[in-house]
Amino acid sequence: MKGYAGKLIDVDLSTETVKFVELDEEMLRFYGGRGLGTYLLWKELGERWEDIDPLGEENLLLILTGPLTGYYPGIKTSVVAKSPESNGIVGSVLSSEIGIELKASGYDGIIIRGRAKEPVYLFINDETIEIRDASKYWGMGGVELHKTLLKEVHDELRKRAKLRGVPKEPAMMYIGRGGENKVRFAAIMAKMMHAAGYGGFGAVMGSKNLKAVLVKGNGPLPEVHDSTKFKAMLREFQRELLTLTTFRQWGTGSGGYSVGKDRSSQPVRNWQEEYHDDERISVVNFELRTWVKKYWADYGCPVNCMKISYLRYGPYKGAITDAPDYELMAYMGTNLGIFEPEKIVYLSYLVDELGLDGINAGNVLGFAAELYQRGILTEEDIGFRLEWGDEKAFARLLELIVEREGIGEILAEGTYRAALKISEMKGVDAMKYAVHVKGIGIGAHGIRSDLDYTRDISYAVSVQGGDHTATAGLPARSYEGELVNAFYDSAVICMFTTRPGFERILEFGNAITGFDLTPEKWFNETGLRIIHLQRILLLLGGPDVYWDPRRDDDNPQRFYEPLPSGPVKGKAPSREEIRAKVRQYYDEVGYDEHGIPKEEVLEELGIGEAKREVKRIRKRLGL
């Protein structure tokens, strides 16, 4: 078994016990990361999936590596669980060295089950695995945690080090108040500004009374199958990634102006528009006014796409965040009618400190602001005026959400569930202003202009709903589609380091593992196996929300409204066009006419046992 450590840590917080699970051949059929997490959740929880509360102690929280973890340039760590947003499986990724430190400790990941009686954190250092009291850290945000918990554990490691020199600080992932109070779109955070956002796994971690996980490994990484080929390909990849000059220069924030101006696909005021020509949000203005560090990279990454913003003066002095990246420039900026760099940096810093997914937080803020604009939510409902462009009001609303106070109690449930509740409260259809797919807010890339990489059914049929990093499309077996995205998430690599291309990265993985995976095998076996299981568990859903593909394999209502401005003004897809493409997608991946995985396809994929879940889906849908 090359490229893998060969075992998982299994921690039960309820009983405070630790055991180990050996990787077997069946698990390796799902590669790692998102794929392995999907398999583990299905095997343990599949028979009673509908009854598993994502925020109950029966849910599992999986922190996983992939076979490329520690070998491929850059670093991600996979986080997988039953999502409190979609009630399906979401494979989220976190920019953190946790994955490498786990492998260096001799593990491929952690299964976390149960619920601690009091706040705890998990400490792993090679063979040492301890559940420790975290009561004094409860309520802290990332900045304070780095000054206290991380420093204290680092000091401890330095004192116990047997060799000369100072050991590198441990990797840490943690939650903020959003996770502690189980806000459904809470994130798991790292390095003060990195997030595993999609899925709401900060809430899952909070539901387990788990404040943080810290890992420091001292051993070598597992051996690779073909070290000569591995080293040669690694050098090639590093050279290629160094050619991403625009990305190295500006990071993802380079899209803050161009996605709206040139592609007409950026959320503006809750997606009422997708075009703007406001140069204040240009990344150059962030560089001049807020950047303090231009090149920052995660472990082994030659791209250096991270840019650090820090406000040195003004009302928000001390706010620090990563540039911000494009998604938060959009969701903490244009989507809220805000175009000033300092205000965007402040709100981005705030969601980081509170431990929220910036995309879904921005989505619910924009939703609330449009309801206020239209008189559906009033000043009395909210407690203050909620005008577009008012960063102070949005900051106040974020505080209400993380504390679940007043209107924040409703909005903390996420855009979809909030729309259901507000529709009931107000006697109006609030859902038409909710820009989500299957409970997950849309990434900051629209489909109406047809000028971005997200188009027609990108979100509608994705097994991860509105996740812009897991989009689907036609043909289903394209190198830009859902199956390849599942590969990157299962190999556990960063989507921004995939310049070498799917085929070569797959070959690189073979040099590490000794597998003989080909694009054809991934498209027709491994990748298809992963998305079919994800699809099944998504359609099972429960216990509070269930999806009907005949209704829910669709875009938000807003995406059928013609674009009101810009060079492609008036453009929007038709429902007939989308429905036809959805049906074509079903045919290409092996779903039936209702969007349910075919039983014979499951047999061919070697997961015939999942037919029991398919039968339950069909029964619930009356088919």
HSE of 258, CA atoms in CB hemisphere, 13 A: 10
**97 and 16 fall within a common domain:** yes
- Range in 169-173, 297-301, 468-472, 536-540 the model is least confident about: 297-301
pLDDT band at 573; cut points 50, 70, 90: very high
Give the domain CATH number at 81. 3.60.9.10
Amino acid at position 163, single letter: L
**251 and 320 fall within a common domain:** yes
Q: What pLDDT is recorded for position 245?
A: 85
User: What residue numbers bound the domain in which 280 lies?
Assistant: 244-340
Q: For 434-470, what is each residue's pLDDT tens digit? A: 999 999 999 999 999 999 999 999 999 999 999 999 9
Residue-averaged pLDDT of the chain: 97
**206 and 272 fall within a common domain:** no
Question: Among residues 4, 90, 1, 34, which one has the least CA distance to residue 488?
Answer: 34
Whether omega before 543 lies within 30 degrees of 0, making that bond cis, reads: yes
Tell me, yes or no, whether 459 lies in a domain.
no
Q: What pLDDT is recorded for position 163?
A: 60
**68 and 183 fall within a common domain:** yes
Number of independent structural domains in the chain: 2
Tell me, yes or no, whether 357 lies in a domain.
no
Tell me, yes or no, whether 395 lies in a domain.
no
Q: What pLDDT is recorded for position 159?
A: 86
Whether omega before 475 lies within 30 degrees of 0, making that bond cis, reads: yes
**37 and 164 fall within a common domain:** yes
**81 and 148 fall within a common domain:** yes
**Orientation angle between helical segments 611-620 and 527-540, nearest 10 degrees:** 40
Q: For 391-427, what is each residue's pLDDT tens digit? A: 999 999 999 999 999 999 999 999 999 999 999 999 9
Tell me, yes or no, whether 96 lies in a domain.
yes
Share of the chain above pLDDT 70, in %: 99
Q: Classify 604 as helix, strand or coil.
A: helix
C-alpha–C-alpha distance, residues 350 and 358, integer Å: 9
**49 and 123 fall within a common domain:** yes
Give the domain CATH number at 297. 1.10.569.10
C-alpha–C-alpha distance, residues 80 and 262, integer Å: 35
Tell me, yes or no, whether 90 lies in a domain.
yes
Is the pTM higher than 0.85?
Answer: yes
Question: Among residues 47, 356, 421, 8, which one has the least CA distance to residue 199?
Answer: 356
Which tokens belong to 44? Answer: 């343990």
**170 and 298 fall within a common domain:** no
**216 and 263 fall within a common domain:** no
Residue 166 pLDDT > 90, yes or no? no
Q: Which of 310, 340, 370 is the last residue of a domain?
A: 340
**265 and 159 fall within a common domain:** no
Tell me, yes or no, whether 131 lies in a domain.
yes
Q: What is the phi-psi region of residue 511: left when phi exceeds 0, alpha when psi lies from -120 to 50, beta otherwise?
A: alpha
Q: What are phi and psi of 242, to 5 degrees?
A: -70, -15
pLDDT band at 246; cut points 50, 70, 90: confident
Q: Which of 309, 340, 371 is the last residue of a domain?
A: 340
Tell me, yes or no, whether 569 lies in a domain.
no
> What is the CB neighbour count within 10 angstroms for residue 38?
29
Q: Which of 485, 514, 546 is the last residue of a domain?
A: 546
Share of the chain above pLDDT 90, in %: 94
Tell me, yes or no, whether 563 lies in a domain.
no
**116 and 248 fall within a common domain:** no
Residue 124 pLDDT > 90, yes or no? yes
**295 and 152 fall within a common domain:** no
> What is the 3-state secondary structure of 172-194?
EEECCHHHHCCCCCECEEECCCE
- The whole-angstrom distance between residue 473's C-alpha and the CA centroid of its chain comes to 19
Residue 165 pLDDT > 70, yes or no? no
Amino acid at position 483, single letter: L
C-alpha–C-alpha distance, residues 79 and 64, integer Å: 6
pLDDT band at 376; cut points 50, 70, 90: very high
